[in-house]
Structure formats: C-alpha cells, structure tokens
Chain A
Amino acid sequence: MAANLTIALAGNPNVGKSTIFNCLTGARQHVGNWPGKTVEKKEGVTDIAGQNLVVVDLPGIYSLNAFSPEEVITRDFILNEKPDVVVAVADASNLERSLYLVVQLLELKVPLVLALNMGDIAQARGIAIDPASISAQLGNIPVVETVSKHGAGIDALKQTVHQLVATPQSTIPVPVDYGEPVEAEITALQTLIEADPTLDQRYDARWLAVKLLEAEEDILAYLEAAGQRRLLDAAREAMQRIKAASGDDSETLIADRRYRFIGQALNGAVTRPSSALETGSDRIDRIITHRVWGLPIFILLMWVVFQFTANVSAPLLDWVDGVVGGPVTRWATAIFGALGLGGSWVESLAVDGVFAGVGGVLVFVPVLFFLYLAIAILEDSGYMARAAFIMDDFMRTLGLHGKSFLPLLVGFGCTVPAIYATRTLENDEDRRLTAFLTTFISCGARLPVYVLFGAAFFGAKAGVFVFSMYLAGGAAAVATGFILKSTVFKNKSVPPFIMEMPAYRAPTLKGVLLYVWKHTSQFLRKATTVILAASVVLWFLTAVPAGATLEQSLFGIISKALAPVFAPAGFDSWEATGALVTGFVAKEVIVSTLGQVYLGGDDAPAAETPTLGEDLAEIARSLGEAVVLTVQETINIVPRTVNVIPGVSAPEADFFGAGEADAEDTTELEAALNRTFTPLSAVAFGVFVVLYVPCMAAVAAIRQEFGARWALYQVTYSLGVAWLVAVVVYQGGRLLGLG
C-alpha cells in the first residue's frame, strides 16, 4: 500500500458524514478553512491495516453542479487532488435524494465506496434495502451498511476501503444513458475534447461534455479564459439543437435522466410499506382534508377548542380569583398594617393598583393554559399543518393562498408574532394584506375579556359567547379581505404551492407541556412587566388629584370626556370607556382596569376575618373542588357540543349536584359588570374589543414591517370598524327586542 493515501468523505448535509469522520479519525483531526474560502475544512488521520490514511471530510452537498461554493470545493478537490478512495455517505432512509450526488461521483470515475448510513431510521420507517442489488445497479461499487451514531459498520467500511486501495477498482461504473438527442451531442463534444490534449489530460472527456451541456458556469468561464471558443460555440449550438428537438433544455434533460437512472437502480433494491399501500395518515387525510368535509371539521374542532378553553378552565379561574381576591389580598393588607402602612398610599398602590390590576389578569392564567394546551395537541398531532391546506380555497376568495392562513393561526396566540410571521410570505402584497387581517384575529390577550363577560352575562353558555367573539373577528377579517382585494390589491394573483404533509402522530406529553409552558410563561412575563406598569400608571391617574373620588380623578375625567362616543353602542359608562382606552396598551389591561375601577376602592370589611390556618385549609379544599369540576367540565364538552344540534338535549355531568346553583355563582367583578352592562351592551362591548386595535406592540410591529402610513391605516380602519359594528349590534339588538 502506498504512503500518504487519502480518503474523501462526500455526501448530503445531515446524513451522518461527520459522525463517520469522527468514528474514523477519533481525536486525530484538525479543523481549518478551505484555501480562500470561509467553508470549514476537516481533515484527520485513520489507521487501516496498520497504515495511516488521511481522511478529508468534504462539505455537505447535494450535487456536483456548482450551485454553491461547497459544491465547487468538493468537485475541484476530487478533480484536482484525486483522492485514492471517495466514500459517498448516503441517507438510507432517503436514498432518492442521496443518490443524485452518488451518480455524479460515478460519472467522475473515482474509486468509490457507498456507505448506506442511518439504516436504523430506514428500518424504523419500514424501508427494506438490498445493498447487493444497489451495488449491481451502480456498476458493482462496494456498498457498506453503517449506523454511524452507534459506530456500527465502521470496521466493515475500513476493511472495504483497504481492499479498494489494495486492489484498484476493476469495475467500470454503469454510465447514465442520457438518451437522444443528448447522447449524440455528448459524443460530438467528446470528440472535440479528446482532440485537444490540454483538455483531454485534465478532464474525462465525457464528463466535460456533460458539464458543457449542463451550462456549468464556472467550467464555461474557465474554458472561455483558456481560449476554448470553438468548443464553447459547439456546446452552445448543441444545446440549441437539443432544445429544438425535445422542447426541454439540456440541463433539465440531463438531471431528469439521472433521476430516472436512480429510480431504476432503486427499483427492486428498496421496498417501502407506503409505496403501494395507503398509510394511516392518507386515510385520515381523505376525510380531514376533504374538499367538502374539511371546513366543517375544522370549525367543529375550533368549537371544541373554545368550549375547552372557556368552560374547562372556569373552575380553576374561579379558584385563582378567590385566592387572589380573598386570602392573598387580606394577607397583604395585614402585612401593610403590621408595618404601620395601613391606609397609606403605599397600601393603596399595592392593593388597589397592583393586586387589582395584575391579580385581575393572573386570574386568567388557567384560561390561557387550556387554550395553549388545545392548540399544542392540534399542532403536535399534525392537524394544524392541514389547516392551511383546508383553508386554501377560502383564502383564495380573499386574494390570498392557504399559506397566509398560518400567520392568521399564530394570531390566535398573539398578534405581534403573527405580523412578523408574515415574513414567511414571499410577496409583499400578500404580507401587507395578511398582516392587516391578522389584527382582527382574536389573540389570547382578548380571551380574558370574553371569558369575564361570558361568565358575567351568559353563565353556562359562556363558551357560545366566546366562540361568537372569535367568529366576529374572523368575519371582520373576511370582510376586510374582500374590501382590500377589490380595491387596494385588485390586481393581485395567487400562485399555487405544494405542501409536505407531516404524518399524523400521537402528541407527546413532553412536546405539549413545553409548548404550554413557553406560551403561558410569556403571558406571565407580560403580566409582571407591561400590565404591572399599566396598573401603576392607572392607579396614579385614579389617585390624582389627591382626595378625589374615582369619578373625579384624572382617569375619570378623561374617560368621561370620551364616553359619549360609545353611547350609540350601549356602553357609554366612563368605567367601560376608561377600560377600552387602557386596553390599547394590552388587551388584558381591560380586565385589570375594570378590576381597579370596580373593585379597587371596595373597602367593605369582611364579616369575620378567617385565621391563616383557616385560609390555607379553604385554599386546599377549594382547589380540590376546582380540579374535580375541571374534570366534570371536560366531560361536558361532549353533551354541550351535541346539544348544539336543534332538538338534542344530552344530559351533562354534575358531580356535586350543584346544578343551577353553581351556574349562578359570580365573582365580585362579574357582579359589578352586571350592574353596569346589559347582556346586549356586553355583546357590543365584546365586539368592540375583538375589532379595535390589538395593542401598542402590534401597531409598532406593523409600523416596523410596513411603515407608519400602513400602521395609521390599520389603527383608523380598525377603530372605525369596531365602532360601527358595535353600534350595529347594539341598535340592531334593540330593534329586535333583545336590549
């Protein structure tokens, strides 16, 4: 065996090539850059049969077509450095993709070993591979199966490399047949190349002829600089003849023939369970993504999600509300009293400002927890990917395609990332239109407002109210889409797309919990930053001038001045107006403001103050009851969904036999709202909350992405639409005798 032998590792990215490199070289490796490039070069030494061999880990590439610097580096290294063996590492679970590069390496006529790596993944997917058959189809090149992450097959790979080096390859790889008229032109160009010794010594003539017909830019540039004008002209004319004869350009025909060659090589060598049979995902998709049934199923699922969110979370919401508004507030008051600060402005700031404001919003953590839990299950199961597919027909009517539905889905969580998510859309008009519509999609921050008003005015039907609010937002988005499509974006076209559908799978507990934690903790962070700051500012506005009542405070004066605007919509109280103004900071602040204005000054003493021990016992008891009721409400999703069908009245579970009595339970804030709003004005208020400007952060995001003018359009439009729709709802309701 000669000294200084070199093994080159080539392969697609992420096929385990570097792991094989590490297995071969261990610690005997160093990392640098390829000369004149920023592409990483890894080189090491391996011991095979007592001899050291240099191993070069070439950059991960998909072809030798010089689409990227990495591909040029790999091709030039193999052409110029002529490694003694090239190990082509292929992903056994995706051989169609991996073999394209292998075919091009075969065309270079280098001593080649094919390492079929990641066989464990292929096996797990039910893919069976016959290495002997693949070897035969590729000109009897050695094929070795490896699972590099476990070090399996590495010794066999070394042994195969050793044999190839010891006995130089005698087999001639089967060339790809490019068919007529390409083969005739290759032969003609080959003759020209072979007639020129400067080219014939440097390149394999057939390989260079193919490269010329592929119009490989850097090869053409090299030949141009080398004065090979006659050859270049001949190649150009050959390409024109091919195009005229076949209708396709030569580059496409060559690539297509390579794919056909790969298909033939794998035919019989690889068997898949899904190649002939319909998979479980296919069967589910036949129903879920059905042209007619897909949309009703989607709406039904969303209905269940909002039932889950509004009703299942209610017992825990009531429990948190009871703990924050009762024992926690009492303990804080007691601590301030013990510190000699009882009745001071400090106590007022903490109790009336922070506790009423932030506490009032934290109450809704269970609501958001259940919302994110439902979305996480849908996401993790693979259903959400289908939503874009299902909604495509509908989105096209708005001048958008289904992909735009995904940022809208993100909008159910938060409008700000939804606006940034429009960056995934290529077309600027798509982005603007989608971002504009996103602001009408009801974000998680608005949910506490619906839940509060739903519980206060609609009891067990709160889920219907919440779902209606989401539908109102969706309807406004649709109407806005139609308006913009027929005015601002009337010349817009919608390009088609192809989507990779992930297989359905059972959601993983870890994945779901991580998702829920990530998004619920974001809400908690917001509560302790933006909402805390807003609560303090609001407390200040309600405390100035000193000694004034809430109504006479700065907050009351500003709110009163604006309140008449909302008189036609039925909610012209200064408290409601003030809440809407502060809601511009963040929608959750509406709830905290209502908490502060209605409850913040409520100093009514409790009839009998419980001891700390009694408080703790009650907290534990009520938590246990809330958990049982959560289970009850989860079960009740089924009858409540079925009961939507006219004439159907399925019985609901009632573990404590509380029946109507529980439905009548209301929090202090709900009771206060009942004194100010009617059910009809509550609906109008809810509709206004759905439709008006999401929050300052969303407006800032629109300004950043699309400019100040677009942000101004959005604010003006959404305020106008919100007011108009709220007025129509209220006045229409009155005309129908609902007020």
Chain B
Amino acid sequence: MASTLQQVLDIFEQNTGRPLSVRQVAQALDIEMGMLESMLHYWVRKGKLREVGGDAAGCAGCGASGGCLLAAHLPKCYERGS
C-alpha cells in the first residue's frame, strides 16, 4: 500500500470527478487537516503540485491586481504541477 504522502499525490491522478475540499481529503485519508496541508505543501515545494490563490501569488505582475476581486478572495487551491 502506498504511503499516505504518496496517496495525497495519487488523489490528483485518480480524481476525475468534482473537486475535493481539504477537509474531505483529510477525512478520506484519516489524518488531521493541518497534517494534510503540510503534506500538500511538501508536494508544492517538490514541484509536484501547484498552489494557486490564497495569497494571489498567481497574480504577480498583473496590472489589474489592485482592482481585482479575485486577488483578495481566491481560495487556495492545489492542482497538479507542470
């Protein structure tokens, strides 16, 4: 059986349906949400996942970011890295 850390990554490969919330994934893997967030962050730092939103990092360099509703309110999402 794959490690929990690997299972977190596998979710992005296997899940072709609707999006999942961090809470749903944490419940499915039976781990604390903080632990899952830390694991997601691990894969982000490894470049396997991308973190979009939250701090509007994706908007860097956008001239409209000052007037952009998204910049302040985009929820943090994790998706497969390039």
Which residues of chain A have a CB within 8 Å of any CB of chain B?
Answer: 62-63, 65, 67-68, 94-97, 100, 247-248, 252-253, 255-256, 259-260, 262-263, 266, 272, 274-275, 282, 285, 289, 291, 375, 379, 384-385, 388-389, 392-393, 396, 401-403, 406-407, 409-410, 413-414, 416-417, 420-421, 423-424, 426, 495-502, 518-519, 522, 701
What are 29 A-to-B residue pairs whose CB atoms are below 8 Å?
A: A63-B45, A65-B45, A96-B32, A96-B37, A97-B41, A247-B2, A248-B2, A252-B3, A253-B3, A262-B35, A384-B73, A388-B19, A388-B75, A389-B19, A410-B70, A417-B64, A417-B67, A420-B65, A420-B68, A421-B59, A497-B19, A497-B78, A498-B12, A498-B19, A498-B21, A499-B19, A499-B77, A500-B21, A501-B23
5 tightest A-B contacts by CB?
A: A256-B3, A96-B34, A424-B58, A385-B75, A256-B5
Alpha-carbon distance A289/B20, docked complex (angstroms): 11
Known contacts A423-B59, A500-B21, A495 near B69 by CB under 8 Å: no
Which residues of chain B have a CB within 8 Å of any CB of chain A?
Answer: 2-6, 11-12, 15-23, 25, 31-35, 37-42, 45-46, 50, 52-54, 56, 58-59, 61-65, 67-80, 82
Determine the chain A residues whose CB is within 8 A of the CB of B15 once the complex forms: 496
Alpha-carbon distance A63/B46, docked complex (angstroms): 11
Are B73 and A392 within 8 A (Cβ)? no
Are B50 and A426 within 8 A (Cβ)? yes
Alpha-carbon distance A97/B40, docked complex (angstroms): 10
A82 to nearest B CB, angstroms? 26
Are A498 and B20 within 8 A (Cβ)? yes
Alpha-carbon distance A409/B17, docked complex (angstroms): 22
Alpha-carbon distance A97/B35, docked complex (angstroms): 7
Closest to A409 in B: B69
Alpha-carbon distance A392/B75, docked complex (angstroms): 14
Known contacts A95-B34, A496-B17, A259 near B59 by CB under 8 Å: no
Determine the chain B residues whose CB is within 8 A of the CB of A388 once the complex forms: 19, 75, 77
Determine the chain A residues whose CB is within 8 A of the CB of B35 once the complex forms: 96, 259, 262-263
Alpha-carbon distance A114/B42, docked complex (angstroms): 22
Known contacts A426-B79, A500-B37, A500-B77, A392 near B19 by CB under 8 Å: yes
Please tell me which one of the listed residues B4, B56, B58 contacts residue A259 in the complex, with CB atoms under 8 A apart: B4
Are A500 and B46 within 8 A (Cβ)? no
Known contacts A496-B12, A498-B11, A389 near B21 by CB under 8 Å: yes
A285 to nearest B CB, angstroms? 8
User: Which of A259, A272, A401, A498 is packed against the most chain B CB atoms within 10 Å?
Assistant: A498
A427 to nearest B CB, angstroms? 9
Known contacts A96-B34, A252-B3, A392-B19, A498 near B25 by CB under 8 Å: yes
B58 to nearest A CB, angstroms? 4
Please tell me which one of the listed residues A95, A263, A423, A501 contacts residue B62 in the complex, with CB atoms under 8 A apart: A423
Are A421 and B31 within 8 A (Cβ)? no
B54 to nearest A CB, angstroms? 7
Alpha-carbon distance A96/B31, docked complex (angstroms): 11
Determine the chain A residues whose CB is within 8 A of the CB of B33 once the complex forms: 274
Alpha-carbon distance A95/B32, docked complex (angstroms): 11
Determine the chain A residues whose CB is within 8 A of the CB of B71 once the complex forms: 421
Can you name 10 extra interface pairs (CB under 8 A) apart from A247-B2, A402-B18, A403-B79?
Answer: A94-B34, A282-B23, A375-B69, A379-B69, A403-B77, A416-B64, A421-B64, A424-B70, A499-B75, A500-B37
Are A259 and B76 within 8 A (Cβ)? no
Are A495 and B12 within 8 A (Cβ)? yes
Determine the chain A residues whose CB is within 8 A of the CB of B53 once the complex forms: 424
B21 to nearest A CB, angstroms? 5
Alpha-carbon distance A5/B42, docked complex (angstroms): 34
A243 to nearest B CB, angstroms? 12
A375 to nearest B CB, angstroms? 7
Please tell me which one of the listed residues B25, B73, B79 contacts residue A495 in the complex, with CB atoms under 8 A apart: B79
Determine the chain B residues whose CB is within 8 A of the CB of A285 once the complex forms: 21
Closest to B78 in A: A498
